[in-house]
Amino acid sequence: MNDYMIYRLALKNGMKPPEKKKPGKIARFSKKRQRANREYAEKSRPLWIGKHCAISAPGCTGTAQGIHHKKGKSSIELLLDERYWIPACNHCNTWCEIFPAEAEKEGFKISRLKK
Ligand SMILES: [Zn+2]
DSSP 54-84: S---TT--SB--EEEETT--SSHHHHH-GGG
Distance 60 CA to ligand 1 centre (A): 4
The pLDDT score that the predictor gives to residue 32 is: 95
Q: How far apart are CA 47 and CA 30, in angstroms?
A: 26
Nearest C-alpha neighbor of 96 from the set 61, 62, 55: 55
The pLDDT score that the predictor gives to residue 2 is: 80
Nearest C-alpha neighbor of 86 from the set 110, 105, 112: 110
The pLDDT score that the predictor gives to residue 115 is: 58
Distance 36 CA to ligand 1 centre (A): 25
Amino acid at 87: P
> Taking the chain (115 residues) in consecutive chunks of 10 residues, what is each chunk's mean pLDDT?
81 77 84 96 97 97 97 95 97 96 96 67
Q: How far apart are CA 31 and CA 29, in angstroms?
A: 6
Q: How far apart are CA 31 and CA 8, in angstroms?
A: 41
Which residues lie near ion ligand 1 (Cβ < 5 Å)? 53, 55, 60, 89, 92
Distance 68 CA to ligand 1 centre (A): 10
